[in-house]
Amino acid sequence: MDAGVISIIPVRGIKLIAPGDSLGLEIVKAVKSSGVGLREGDIVVVSHVVVSKAEGRLYRLSELAPTPQAIEIAAITGKDSAHVEAVLRESKRVVRIRGEVIITETRHGLICANSGVDLSNVGEGVAAALPDNPDASAERIRLEIEKAAGVRVAVIICDSHGRPFRRGAVNIAIGCSGLEPIWDRRGEPDLYGRVLRSKQICVADELAAAAELAMGQAAEGIPVAIIRGYKYIPGVVGASQIIRPREESLF
């Protein structure tokens, strides 16, 4: 009965990550001591917060001097003006403001709330920004893991994002390394031999979403999950390729 079964395995016991830590090495330590191990072809999904911590992508809110624009948006949204300042520094443009929500386009091109600047799980008075280059972070973590564990893996860095037409956030892939993020099935035959014309699946986002089911089990979150048994297509293209260019958007 095990044919084709995919496992989502939470990785517990990772130490509190601090700037300068080798996250790949800490992940390998935790999978070894927990008995989960790592196998060839595993997909290691990592929450962006620990990546940001390891890379020191943190703002101390007391050290930020808010601009007049940040102060104005803080007044409209009821947010802390230093938090808004961090949000603006991480953004290319403000897409929309409503209630207490600021939707921005991040420097990476992601459209999301608060430029992904997160006040959760980073400690009082600190905000975590997204990694500068999540694909490069994923690549580095993958190489660290492969060196320490001796097996080939893929790495996805994930974050939880809201959607325009649907309530609730879902985990998506903001960075990846070692796998093709989009599976292009166009040209394959269907059940009746009809050729699929428009089937491109964002497997990186589906893997990130799956990982969250295991990561969300503890109230404080589990920062890493391993997906085992999914046959991905090896690739060198990063998750930045998932971002739809503005001129291509249909909405």
15: contact with a copy of itself by CB under 8 A: no
33: contact with a copy of itself by CB under 8 A: no
194: contact with a copy of itself by CB under 8 A: yes
Q: Where are the beta strands (DSSP E) in 27-153?
A: 43-47, 58-60, 91-98, 101-106, 111-113, 126-128
Tokens encoding 99: 């209630």
Burial track 10-27 (b if 16+ CB lie within 10 A, e otherwise): bbeebeebeeebbbbebb
Residue 93 DSSP label: E
154, 177 Cβ separation under 8 angstroms: yes
172: contact with a copy of itself by CB under 8 A: yes
The C-alpha atoms of residue 54 and residue 112 are separated, in whole angstroms, by 22
220: contact with a copy of itself by CB under 8 A: yes
61, 83 Cβ separation under 8 angstroms: yes
Chosen residue from 48, 155, 212, 238 binding a copy of itself by CB under 8 A: 212
96: contact with a copy of itself by CB under 8 A: yes
Q: Minimum Å distance from CB 36 to a copy of itself?
A: 5
Which lies closer to a copy of itself via its Cβ, residue 143 or residue 182?
Answer: 182
Which lies closer to a copy of itself via its Cβ, residue 144 or residue 212?
Answer: 212
201: contact with a copy of itself by CB under 8 A: yes
Interaction mask 128-167, a copy of itself, x per CB under 8 A: --------------------------------x--xxxxx
Tokens encoding 242: 């998932």
Using CA atoms of 229, 53, 25, 214 in order, give the dihedral in degrees to the nearest 10: -30
Of 19-27, 85-93, 140-148, 184-192, the segment contacting a copy of itself by CB under 8 A is 184-192
Strand bridging mode 101-106 / 111-113: antiparallel
Window 58 to 77, contacts with a copy of itself (CB under 8 A):
none
Chosen residue from 35, 62, 63, 65 binding a copy of itself by CB under 8 A: 35
4: contact with a copy of itself by CB under 8 A: yes
84: contact with a copy of itself by CB under 8 A: no
Coil, helix or strand for 225? strand
Chosen residue from 21, 29, 151, 221 binding a copy of itself by CB under 8 A: 221
Window 113 to 132, contacts with a copy of itself (CB under 8 A):
113, 119-124
Chosen residue from 76, 101, 233, 236 binding a copy of itself by CB under 8 A: 101
Phi first, then psi, for residue 247 (nearest 5°) are -70, -10
Of 28-36, 85-93, 128-136, 145-153, the segment contacting a copy of itself by CB under 8 A is 28-36
Phi first, then psi, for residue 116 (nearest 5°) are 75, 5
